[in-house]
Structures are given as structure tokens and as C-alpha cells.
Amino acid sequence: MEIAIIALIGVNLILVLFLVLRKNGDSGIETQIVKTLSEYHDRQKQFHSQEFQQLRDSMEKRLGDGLEQSRKTLSQVMERLVRVDSAQKQISDLGKNVVDLQRVLTDKKSRGIFGEVQLNQILENLFGAKRGELYDLQVTLSNGKMVDAFLRLPEPLGHMAVDAKFPLENYQRMVDEELSEGGRKEAKREFSKNMKKHIDDISSKYIIPQETSDQAILFLPAEAIFAEVHAYHPDVIEYAARKKVWLTSPTTLMAVLSTVQGLLLTLERHKHMDEIHLEINKLGEEFSRNNGRWSDLVRHVATIQKDIDKLEITHKKLSDRFSSIARL
């Protein structure tokens, strides 16, 4: 701003000087002043052109940066919208699956199938391809009763039955907040009765002397029901212990079977321990025999070395005598 004011003052002074000289009739100086003003005008024009170009370049750069930032922001917003849409679709699908699961669990037969499928998956994950060797599914026992799973374990465990039970109705009534206190207490008593009946069924059907182990496993497919029994129904736990029935959930069944798997590995090792011990003894005998033979070989080599030394002395004497004869 100051530069522009100074330039304007300079131009005015030049104009005043030009008018004075023109009045006095000095044409040479007038021509010089006109030339100076023309050059000044050209410089000003060039200066303003450069300033305008810099301003335009700066505006274009800022506008380009702003557009690029807006494009990136819009791209990020679109990506997030896609994620939100995908998450909303997953939530919708999950809601449908929950509804389908509720429909399945309302039917006793469907609940039984659900428990069996979950039991099968746990056994397959732990024992893998050993079906038929360590376990079987849907096995009919000598009393004509079919059990969901049958573990073929070595002694002293013996063969053990695993059956899935899913007592759901009274459990749902027992935890229903809309139900009255008396109704929940009644549901709790019925739930205990249901559990004891399942325990009785397993104990009477799947524990057979000389055929199965003296214990069996009751598999509860729901962790919540298992936790409810252990937290608020000690009478059920004691009853199951008297009947020699183990109560398990998906988590605890995996822990029990993992322990059984470790025991099987230990038994397998013990079974081959005598053979390993015998082989180690044989290896020791061979090693002792090898030591004796090696000592004999060393002694023979030492004897041969002595003979070689004597032969070397005789050879040297013979060489010396032949040399003496050759000199004569």
C-alpha cells in the first residue's frame, strides 16, 4: 500500500514537472518525461500482471487442495457408509438367526437335536479322526437303549456314556422377571425335578455293569443352565454325585475330555514302557559287547604295531648289509 502511494506521488510530481516544462516550451525535456512516463506505465503494467498471475496461481492451488481434501473426505464418508450398511445387514441377519434359534428351542425334539449336534462337534474337534476307535455316536447298548455318544476308554476308566439333555421351559420361567415371585419359585422347584429326572434316566439307562463304566456324563448344551445349577441348586449337584452322573456344559465337557485325552496318552506310554525298557536293556548289552570287541581290536592293533616295528628294524639291518656288500 505504501509503495503504491509513493508511486502515485512520483507520478504526480512528474506530471507537474511535465506541465511546467511544456508551458516554458522545453521540448527535449518534455520528450524525456513522456518516455519516462511510458516506461513507468509499462513497468506498472508488468508488475500488476505478475501480481495478478501469482494471485491466480495461489487461488488455483488453494482451490485444488480444497477439492482434493473434499474428495478424500467424501471417499472416507462413503467407505464408512458402506461399513455401516454391512454392519446393519449383519445385525439384521443375526436377528433373523436369533429368531430361528428361538423357534428351534421351543420344540423338545429340536432342542434334543441341537444338543446332539453340539456334542458331536465337541467330540470331533477333540478326537478328530478317531471316531470308531475312541468314541461312537448313537450307540445302542445291550439293554436296547440308545445313547448320544459312547466313549471307548481303556481301563480303569472303561466305556462311558454321554447323553445330551436340555431342560429349558422351567428355566425360562424361573428367570422371567415378568412372572410373579411365587411363579418363579414354583418354576425353580420344577426345574430341580426335571434335572433329577434326567439324572435318573442316565443312571438307569447308561450305567450297565460289565459293559460300561460305573459313571456317565450328562451334557447340558447351555452354559447359562449349567451355571444356574451350580450356583442355586446344590441339591441337584449332590443328587448327581450319588447317582455317579457328571454334569457338564460345552466348556466343562471340553475340559473333561481334554483330561481324558491326556490320560489316554499316559496309558499309551505306560503300555509300551515294558517294551521300551526291554529294548534299552538289549541296547545296553550290545553296547557292552561293542566295548569288548573294540578293546580286543585295540590290543590286536597294538600287537601288529609291535610286529611292524620289529620288521622295520630287520628291514633296516638288511638294507645296511646290502649297502656294505655293494661298497665292497
The pLDDT-based confidence of 241 (bands split at 50, 70, 90) is very high
Categorize the per-residue pLDDT at 41 as very low, low, confident or very high, splitting at 50, 70 and 90.
low
Tell me the CA distances in angstroms from 326 to 42, 250, 316, 322, 323, one per residue in order. Answer: 127, 105, 15, 6, 5
More confident residue, 29 or 169: 169
Mean pLDDT across 151-179: 81
Cell of 240: 448327581
> What's the pLDDT score for residue 30?
53
Question: Please, what is the average pLDDT of the chain?
Answer: 75
User: Which of the given ranges, 47-51, 166-170, 185-189, 268-272, has the highest pLDDT on average?
Assistant: 185-189
Q: Which CATH number fits domain 108-271: 3.40.50, 3.30.70, 2.40.40, 3.40.1350?
A: 3.40.1350
Tell me which of 3 and 165 has the higher pLDDT: 165
CB 206 within 8 A of CB 216: yes
For the chain, what percent of residues have pLDDT higher than 90?
Answer: 10
Separation CA 169–CA 183 (nearest Å): 13
Q: How far is CA 34 from CA 23, 24, 86, 150, 288, in A?
A: 15, 16, 77, 118, 127
Beta-carbon count within 10 A of 9 CB? 10
CA distances from residue 256 to 195, 234, 260, 305 in whole angstroms, order as listed: 20, 21, 6, 70
Query: What pLDDT, on a 0 to 100 scale, did the predictor assign at position 328?
Result: 67
pLDDT above 80 (res 87): no
Burial 24-36 (b: 16+ CB within 10 A, else e): eeeeeebeebeee
Mean pLDDT of the 113-136 span: 79
pLDDT score at 221: 87
pLDDT value at 36 more than 60 = yes
Please report how the helices 223-232 and 234-242 are oriented relative to each other, as an axis angle in degrees rounded to 10. 100
**Phi, psi for residue 260 in degrees, rounded to 5:** -60, -40
Average pLDDT value for residue range 113-131: 79
Q: What is the 3-state secondary structure (H, E, C) of the chain?
A: CHHHHHHHHHHHHHHHHHHHHHHHCCHHHHHHHHHHHHHHHHHHHHHHHHHHHHHHHHHHHHHHHHHHHHHHHHHHHHHHHHHHHHHHHHHHHHHHHHHHHHHHHCCHHHHHHHHHHHHHHHHHHHHCCCECCCEEEEEECCCCCEEEEEECCCCCCCCEEEEECCCCHHHHHHCCCCCCHHHHHHHHHHHHHHHHHHHHHHHHHHCCCCCCCCCEEEECCCHHHHHHHHHHCHHHHHHHHHCCEEEECHHHHHHHHHHHHHHHHHHHHHHCHHHHHHHHHHHHHHHHHHHHHHHHHHHHHHHHHHHHHHHHHHHHHHHHHHHHHHHC
User: What confidence tier does 95 reach under pLDDT thresholds 50, 70, 90?
Assistant: very low
4 pLDDT above the threshold of 50: no
Average the pLDDT over 104-116 and give the result.
65
Find the range with the poorest average confidence among 17-26, 115-124, 224-233: 17-26
Tens of pLDDT along 70-82?
A: 777 777 767 776 7
Give the pLDDT mean for 164-177. 82
- pLDDT for 255-302, tens place per residue? 888 887 777 777 667 666 777 778 788 888 887 888 888 888 778 878
Residue 141's φ and ψ, nearest 5 degrees, are -85, 180
Instruction: Give the start-to-end residue ranges of the domains of the chain.
Output: 108-271, 273-319
Residue 105 has pLDDT above 70, yes or no: no
Percentage of the chain surpassing pLDDT 70?
70
pLDDT of residue 159: 86
Residues 226-254, mean pLDDT to the nearest whole number: 90
